[in-house]
Amino acid sequence: MKLFTRTQQMGAAALIMAASVFVSRFMGLVRDKVISYLFGATAEADIYFAAFVVPDFINYLLAGGYFSITLIPLLSERFERDPEDGWRFFAAAFWWITLAICLLTGAAWWFAPELARVAAPGFDAPSTVRLVRFLRIILPAQAFFLPGACVTALLYMRRQFAVPAMGPLVYNGCIIGGGLLSWAVAPARGMEGFCWGVLAGAALGSLALPLLAAARGGGVRLRPVLRHPGVRRFALLALPLMIGQSVVVLDEQFVRIFGSMTGEGAVSLLNYARRIMLVPVGVVAQAAGVASYPFLAALAARGETQSFDATLSTALRNALAVIIPLSLWMLLAAEPTMRLFFQGGGFAAAETLASAPLLRVMLCGVAFWAVQQVVGRAFYAHQDTVTPAVVGTLATLAALPLYVLAGRAGHAGTLGVAAAGTTAVAVYTAALALVWRRRHGGTGLSGLLGWGAKSVALCVVAALPAWPALTYAPLLVPASPATSAGQLWGAFLALAVSGPVFAGAYLLLARRFAPDLAEPVLSRLRPLLARVRDRLRVGQGR
């Protein structure tokens, strides 16, 4: 019972959400590992991943990922002035979004055959028919996602974070459970069980669980209301986010659409590589953006420009100090990473070798993701949702020819699709930073290029001892390297040995030649090392 009624303080809430992101990413990897083991990089897996193009686009079209930015401040304002008016506004927003998503989902369900041909233009006729089947199972999940996002916004306003943090875990758990159950009971149905798991996970994790938490943690009122002046303001704030679909949210869809044109298995390989790439993006880049936003918003509201710029600079530098060495080591270790996480069952060594270059190309854009996550929220902190939307839309349009060229290049175009996504994110981030510099000055971004260049240079030197560790550590495996177990243990040892070698070399170099690069990491390690020393002393005293 306490789980649903506890109101966490901000520090505890930050830890809960950070842990949730990490566990959610891990469960996403487990989910894709199950899929890769059972189906590998096959036409059936391609169809499953392509079935998310249309539902995800509908979610983006209604700004489903931005409810916390647009709805929470309005809810707080209304409830602060008049709780009764706050409930009327909440009910109106809930029912309008529910009505809109049900209408859009119903239309998409009816026109699924036409939309399937747009979502995967490279599929043959039988694959397209099966895609329609999957699409019609997954589409209704959107009717749970967006109303659930309204209820989750209410929980965030109350500073109740535990249940929203559980939502993605329930969602992924249902997908895995549905897929495994279907495989055990009716393997001839292929990946259909995973699709039903998506629907069940959306109903339980995204709507039922938040509703139960809201009801037990302060109550929830959903009397049908369609007229309220606050809805118009909410729509005007969300409209730029609905219209301005940036490459950051559409890249995954472009990977699926244009990947379908490059041959069987391409969509799956791109998806598996992208799943690994999103781990540092979610744990470091997204976390940096989410953590910095409340502070930036408060400073912008008070007009404290110097403090705002200092906070923006600190957030960017801290994020890059971690994400540049992490992503470059992962680039170095791409092959054993893909082998360890996905190889086995239907995902053979050939798929590992084919997916590793895709991961390397995608990892080249991770630092740009980090900058975009923070700078984009700097605009939002100034209540400017239009500029990121416009810049993102223009960057998306500019990137489209790259995706088209890659899609027309045949099977060799798979690498081109990955490169197009990385280039598009880099262009979007650079354009967003230039617009920020022109409007708000360059203080918050000052020295960022030099900071990144120094970090990359140190990473290159740190890679010199890490490369032999990566190469020769697998030789320590007692089992034959040719066996499946031997290959997995070899990949594990390669990562377990090369990672600490790379990190140690990088920190030593940074501490000697660029202390400012090492400080964001060392400042977090010092308390941990101090606790370890204290425990050792206590143990010796006994």
Query: What are 438-490's pLDDT values in tens digits?
Result: 999 888 888 888 888 888 999 999 999 999 988 888 877 765 555 677 788 88
- The CA dihedral of 316, 10, 19, 507, to the nearest 10 degrees, is 40
CA distance 494 to 417: 28
Residue 12 has pLDDT above 60, yes or no: no
What does the pLDDT read at residue 126? 92
> What pLDDT, on the 0 to 100 scale, is given for residue 338?
93
Give the confidence band of 529 by pLDDT, cuts at 50, 70, 90.
Answer: low
Mind listing the pLDDT tens digit for each residue in 340-368? 989 888 888 889 999 999 999 999 999 99
Average pLDDT, the chain: 82
pLDDT digits (tens, 9 = 90+) for 378-395: 888 887 877 887 888 888
Whole-angstrom Cα distance, residue 349 to residue 529? 40
Pick the residue with more confidence: 191 or 236? 191
Least confident of 38-52, 137-151, 230-244, 402-416: 230-244
Please tell me the least confidently modeled range out of 2-16, 73-87, 260-274, 400-414: 2-16
How far, in Å, CA of 53 to CA of 466, rounded? 39
Place 339 in a pLDDT band, splitting at 50, 70 and 90.
Answer: very high
pLDDT of residue 298: 74
Place of tokens 């598996």: 272
Judge whether residue 162 has pLDDT over 80: no
Q: Which residue has the higher pLDDT, 74 or 345?
A: 345
Q: What is the pTM of this model?
A: 0.81
Q: Which residues of 327-344 are buried (b: 16+ CB within 10 A; e: fewer)?
A: bbbbbbbbbbbbbbbbbb
Specify the pLDDT at position 1. 38
